[in-house]
Amino acid sequence: MSGIQILIKDASYDDYVPQKFVETFDPTIWGFDIDDNDLTIVKLGPYNEYYWEAWDSIVRRAKCNQNGYIWYLYHGGDLFAFCEELMTDTEYYNFFGEHRQAAS
């Protein structure tokens, strides 16, 4: 299994990627530390003045535990879920642009 999964392609949703995420993916799965107010704001869409601030908070705090592996969100055009533990060294380098630090 790859340590990177694409959740939403930006080309089809553009500024609506955050809104599509909160409408499509169950917040109880991703919402370990997500503020309900941020979810409400993002559901309102990109014309809300706090939309991007709320989305940034969601991306920074969201995590999902699947079979003991923690997945995080990354929004850089497309919306990705990633799990560093499951990433190969090549995936890690291509995704983050740097080599993985060796465990000490």
Residue 72: the pLDDT is 94
Domain-embedded: residue 77: yes
Q: What is the pLDDT of residues 38-53, one digit of tens each?
A: 999 999 999 999 999 9
Residue 33: the pLDDT is 76
Answer whether 0.85 is exceeded by the pTM. yes
Range of the domain at 68: 4-96
DSSP secondary structure, 10-64, as one string = HHHHGGGHHHHHHHHS-HHHHBSS--HHHHHHHHH-TTSTTHHHHHHHHHHH-EE
Domain-embedded: residue 102: no
Residue 27: the pLDDT is 77
Q: What is the pLDDT of residues 45-85, one digit of tens each?
A: 999 999 999 999 999 999 988 889 999 999 988 999 999 99
Q: What is the pLDDT of residues 8-26, one digit of tens each?
A: 987 778 899 999 999 988 8
Residue 31: the pLDDT is 67
Domain-embedded: residue 103: no
Number of domains composing the chain:
1
